[in-house]
Amino acid sequence: MAEMNHQILLASRPSGAVQPANFRLVEVPLAPLADGQVRVRNHYLSLDPYMRGRMNDSKSYAAPQPLDAVMIGGTAGEIVESRNPAWTVGTKVVGMAGWQEFATSDGTGMQRVDDSHVPLSAYLGPVGMPGVTAWYGLNRICTPKAGETVVVSAASGAVGSVVGQLAKQKGCRVVGIAGGSAKCSYVVDELGFDACLDYKAGAIDAALRDAAPDGVDGYFDNVGGAILDSVMLAMNAFGRIAVCGAIAGYDGEPLVMRRPTLILQSRLKIEGFIVSEHMGDWPAALGELGGLVAKGTLKYRESVAEGLARAPEAFIGLLKGRNFGKQLVKLI
Ligand code: NDP
């Protein structure tokens, strides 16, 4: 009897917050491989905030996730069967196989990775798309110099944790913003940020003035809304804001901006970016990030849900801040 694959499909589009019923778990038999194909057993699935936008049927920088198709997603796994001489059994690979246990591929879009010094799962976090996102927004948009102050929101997360550590390594004062005292303690005590503000404890305007007494030169914005608004008030003249994400508005919540005239008054540079549109920077970024993780000088934390069936719940939790570090699903 054929081996079975489990997949999670998008069953319906959410209106407002994502619900478990927006997903459907299915079991399908694995077809025999054709010539040129390989079978990948996915060990890890990456859950990322961008998936929320793909669930909507609206105009964006990327096409919507089709209904009744396997949910899009980054994966890390291992080739378990091959009818393609370029890919040998046992090779560790990363790709975009989606929310499923096995993938069948001709190798297009798959990349070999070496897990001897960097754990396989890290290729979905600090040495993968989130790490490159941090590297790009910090180096190309915030462009911080030693002695400057950098602020980053969602500071304990996959992107924010890398932003802050890279900025510290450049000699900056680094202030994180995160939800809750546990995340803030981790950001300061484990990651080495100079300060961290818990936005759930109340408005951050006054705390930010204390934590950044010389003002803010670079802000890496992962959340938008009220937090972006508060940081804008603290920006120095000619400050740079990398607009990476706006998770506070992904379920359709309105995002306010109290003082848009600050953009002119403080001569701010505010630039949004999509990391997949800057592929030329990926090799240098991944080389640097991989080296730092291998040496242990770039720390990271993971939230790991066990089993594909837990993916919807873990994804809903990610959008509500229940993850602590990079959200992964460990598959079979
Ligand atoms: P994280 O690992 O940081 O997880 C998301 C975090 O967002 C949660 O843990 C939570 O942290 C925070 N959050 C959730 N809701 C809110 C809210 N309403 N207000 C403030 N914070 C909130 O995710 P990633 O590191 O993977 O992604 C961070 C951001 O970067 C996202 O906005 C994502 O869309 C964006 N991104 C953009 C890319 C690009 O190319 N532009 C590429 C990759 C990511 P807390 O508990 O601290 O609130």
Segment 253-272 shows an average pLDDT of 94
- What pLDDT does residue 332 have? 72
Q: Where does 55-127 have alpha helices with state H?
A: none
Q: Which domain holds residue 323?
A: 4-125+300-330
Both 17 and 46 in one domain: the answer is: yes
Both 117 and 217 in one domain: the answer is: no
Both 25 and 82 in one domain: the answer is: yes
The token duo for 226 is 């009220």
Nearest CA residue ID for atom 9, ligand 1? 321
Domain count, the chain: 2
* 312-323 pLDDT per residue, tens: 999 999 999 999
Number of neighbours of residue 265 by Cβ within 10 angstroms: 10
- What pLDDT does residue 258 have? 86
* 13-58 pLDDT per residue, tens: 999 999 999 999 999 999 999 999 999 999 999 999 999 999 999 8
Both 62 and 147 in one domain: the answer is: no
Segment 292-299 shows an average pLDDT of 98
The token duo for 303 is 């939230």
pTM of this structure: 0.98
The token duo for 119 is 């754990």
Number of neighbours of residue 85 by Cβ within 10 angstroms: 7
Report how far ligand 1's centroid is from the alpha carbon of 248 (Å).
8
Nearest CA residue ID for atom 17, ligand 1? 248
Q: At residue 1, does pLDDT exceed 80?
A: no
- CATH number of the domain to which 151 belongs: 3.40.50.720
Segment 260-264 shows an average pLDDT of 95
The confidence band for 189, taking pLDDT boundaries of 50, 70 and 90, is very high
In sign, the C-alpha dihedral spanning 136, 191, 269, 205 is positive
Both 321 and 200 in one domain: the answer is: no
- What pLDDT does residue 170 have? 98
Which atom of ligand 1 is found nearest the CA of 322? Answer: 9
Report how far ligand 1's centroid is from the alpha carbon of 27 (Å).
31
Both 120 and 133 in one domain: the answer is: no
DSSP letter string over 134-150? HHHIIIIII---TT-EE
The DSSP bridge pattern shows strands 111-112 and 75-82 to be unpaired
DSSP helix/strand/coil, 327? strand
Report how far ligand 1's centroid is from the alpha carbon of 61 (Å).
18
Going by C-alpha positions, the residue among 36, 200, 4, 7 that lies closest to residue 106 is 36
Segment 245-266 shows an average pLDDT of 94
The token duo for 255 is 């995002």
Instruction: HSE, CB side, 13 Å, CA atoms: give it for residue 157.
Output: 32
DSSP helix/strand/coil, 91? coil
- CATH number of the domain to which 312 belongs: 3.90.180.10
Both 141 and 262 in one domain: the answer is: yes
Cα separation of 48 and 32, whole Å? 31
Both 69 and 34 in one domain: the answer is: yes
Helix axes 129-136, 158-169, angle to 10 degrees: 50
Cα separation of 63 and 46, whole Å? 19
What does the mean pLDDT of the chain come to?
97
Report how far ligand 1's centroid is from the alpha carbon of 152 (Å).
11
Both 259 and 225 in one domain: the answer is: yes
Nearest CA residue ID for atom 32, ligand 1? 245
Nearest CA residue ID for atom 39, ligand 1? 274
Instruction: Give φ, ψ of 190 to 5 degrees.
Output: -95, -40
Burial group, residue 49, by CB count within 10 angstroms (0-12, 13-18, 19+): buried
